[in-house]
Structure 1
Amino acid sequence: MTTRREIGVVPPIVLNDGSLIPQLGFGVFQVPPDQVFDTVTAALRAGYRSIDTAAAYENEEGTGRALRHFGLPRDEIFVTTKLWNSDQGYESTLRACETSLDRLGLEYLDLYLIHWPVPAADKFVDTFRAFQRLKADGRVRSIGVSNFRVTDLERVVAETGETPSVNQIELHPRLVQRELREYHAEHAIATEAWSPLGQGTLLGDPVITRIAGEVDRSPAQVIIRWHLQLGNIVIPKSVTPERIEQNFDVFGFELSAEQMSAVSGLDSGTRTGADPATFAVGLDT
């Protein structure tokens, strides 16, 4: 039995704690603080009911203002934010969560993620234990991680006794992450894709444009549809209202098995972002 009702028109993914998350959400990575109010408002107007931000994006406050101004009941919106690297550790995590809640103007988060594992700091297990405390206290509904490798996930489970509900990872047709997705599937961890369009680098790819012509959709719609059919949670970002609306209009068509295979065949292991094994920005701040 799920612990909350479906949100909006987007099909939900059932997390391992019984919560529901819309499979299609809206990300605000790199949306400037002075633009995020209008951008989130446009996303809500288009039909998005899941908004993904992070302390490091420095736009939690504007995101929260947009949510309040739009006026949806709290249980009709799914809000995710992330703990930054410099706040890892048990007590500092508890404080950082309260700061994020204050900025967002919320009493609880639907999903809280450890933004990066930062293995060099070796604090993510204690951080996840703090997440468990926040969940027990009702400040967070679901707890998860971001950019974690299999070895990181194994440590969290072994040392805390709890499996993260979500792992948000860089995932797009040039970085398909088969091994990690298979591990997630075996351990009931939902896969959430950031940079789902490969920072826009895939929109002109000949395979993508060919398929877009075949289904009479945009290249971005093709890629988002590919994610959905793989079972990924996907959080595309745009600051253009027309593209925000277009990226939401992905439920009226399907890709064939051949088309899905062709998109997956673009995999080259190419990242647009940092390597989770070495990324440690923020440790000295």
Structure 2
Amino acid sequence: MTVKAATVIGGGGGAAVLCSHRLGVCNHRYLLSLNRPSSVPVPAASSSLKMPLSPKPWYHRRLGHVFVSRAANSTQPSPAAAAAADKTTVPDDEFSLAKVSFGVIGLGVGLSLLSYGFGAYFNILPGSEWSAIMLTYGFPLAIIGMALKYAELKPVPCLTYLDAQTLREKCATPILKQVRSDVTRYRYGDEQHLDEALKRIFQYGQGGGIPRRSAPVLQMIREEVTEDGKYCLVLVFEAKALQLSDFEQRQAKFASFFGPGITAEVGKGEKDLYEVRLISDTTV
């Protein structure tokens, strides 16, 4: 292949090669400056110079080696990604009567008895001799079901990591276990979860306290393990009218109410969410 135009600038140990994109020797990808070893001769510029193309010039091999090594390093996972991969959640699919709504059960059974009782009383359905009994028991059951449904407080979601589940039985204090059990089941008659605890900690309507309408509302709980290997129960509250300083001022009260044997930490979450971390002092 014949080189029609090439210019070599420099001498000694280095040279700059400028190539036109119309040449067969170099194209725009190899328009570069390179340090030529002293053992490589510099060809004189000539319009009729013929230069044999090596399939792997020395500078091509060096560039290719650098590219491959960088690609191999980029595939290595970062420490943060490796730590996140170890966080395996445990699905909360264990059946318990505490997770069943008695309001739904009472209302469903009561309405079923009332419906069949009226149908049997008017001879639309068979069993007219039992219609009086079904109407007698169906009406109060339906009323009780509606009352329970009205006063019902649904359980909050619980996110549990696998490493925290293994530590719960050995490291969690009895109070932390009770808190987890209370907020993950249906409750009746309470305005919100942990209502008594929040009333004492935030002192609704008292001097130095907050108005009851500004009370934080428990949204979810999370079981995790701290960096030093301790069991931690995280309470996630939504409080639109409060600031992080309102929780920080009562950090000691959280530790005192849910203690003994725990350390309380508070932090800010997303938007209007605040986290209270109850860390057990018991270690394996």
TM class by shorter chain equals under 0.3
* Higher CA-based Rg: 2
TM-score of the aligned structures, taking structure 2 as reference length? 0.21
TM-score of the aligned structures, taking structure 1 as reference length? 0.21
